[in-house]
Amino acid sequence: MEKKKEDEESKQTGGSGAKKSTATSKGKGNEDADVQSEPSTPARQEPVTVE
């Protein structure tokens, strides 16, 4: 479930670049990608897995 959500998000941002927030940082705001990629993944995995 989480992988599919990440795939959809990464596709919207720019493929695997969204996860690394490196290729997106050039086109989009690296802050937006970093904040959405780093905290979004772990923060979502913990609550989603616990539930």
Confidence of residue 9 (pLDDT cuts 50, 70, 90): low
Position with higher pLDDT, 51 vs 14: 51
The pLDDT value recorded for residue 3 is 66
3 assigned to some structural domain: no
Number of domains in the chain: 1
Confidence of residue 14 (pLDDT cuts 50, 70, 90): low
Domain that holds residue 29: 17-51
12 assigned to some structural domain: no
Question: What percentage of the chain has pLDDT greater than the value 90?
Answer: 0
48 assigned to some structural domain: yes
Query: Can you state the angle between helices 40-50 and 2-13, rounded to 10 degrees?
Result: 160
23 assigned to some structural domain: yes
32 vs 1: CA distance, rounded Å: 23
51 assigned to some structural domain: yes
